Amino acid sequence: MLGHIPPHVRRVVPPLVLALGALSSAAIAVQLLLAVPDYPLFAASFFGAAALQSVGAWGLWERRFWARGFGLGAILFGGVGVGVWIGYSSVAISSSLLAVLLLVADDAPGRYERREAFLEQKKLDGAGARRLFWVALGLGFGLPSLLGSGLSIHLLFHAPVPTVIAALLGVLGFWGLTRLATWCYFAIAAAGISLLVAAWMSTLDGHVDAAWWSGLCALMLLSSTLPLSRPIWARLRGS
């Protein structure tokens, strides 16, 4: 699949799409700072999205093992979500679709989480590489949506404690994933649960529009840990 795409296009397009998404998020944040200087938290949420999209772009360029899954999630958030919001959906969605196709091509995993040298160094098999991909995908979609969505700020207002806990645990889980730390999966699951609680509390307060997107992000974070449930359960039973 996509065998006719030149190698330099495969390498450049996905990180470029994420880098442009980061610039767009940063531009929105600056505009919000100028338009509503009394509410800097609105701008901070989009600065958060820009930072995470920049991390994804760097990871794709460097071909890190977590970059394919994280990049896919961040592109889906940035290209489709932010692109529709700021009014150039045709360009954002088409470029994001191309980047997604390049990252799910037949040989894409081999350049990221299925490289032979990486598998040998970390003593992983194909199943372990797939688990890493799903965890990174959940983080790539969930973290930018939590920290970068304009709706996330409503969650912070109406459920500040679980929202802050979710953000901190999510970032901690991502940091652990980049180091293949076992505890990172529990941090990611706890981040998803905290975000789900925040979305539920906002729903009870009548702010359904602010809760549905973050609820979806919570489910993405939680679903990213499902491939890990069997080996974790086997490890617990073995101990």
Which one-letter DSSP state was computed for residue 159?
Answer: S
The mean pLDDT value of the chain amounts to: 84
pLDDT > 90? residue 119? no
DSSP result, 77-110: IIIIIIHHHHT-HHHHHHHHHHHHHHHTSTTTGG
Give the closest residue to 45 by CA, choosing from 165, 181, 125, 144. Answer: 144
Q: Supply the pTM of this predicted model.
A: 0.85
Contact by Cβ (8 Å): 155, 198: yes
Measure Cα distances from 83 to 143, 155, 228, 239 in Å: 17, 22, 33, 48
pLDDT at 85: 52
* Spatial separation of the C-alpha atoms in residues 65 and 216, rounded to whole Å: 25
- Run of H or E residues at 56: helix 40-62
pLDDT of residue 199: 86
Q: In the predicted model, what is the mean pLDDT of residues 200-225?
A: 81
Which pLDDT tens digit goes with each residue over 79-98?
Answer: 655 555 555 566 777 788 88
SS3 224: coil
- pLDDT (mean) for 28-43: 85
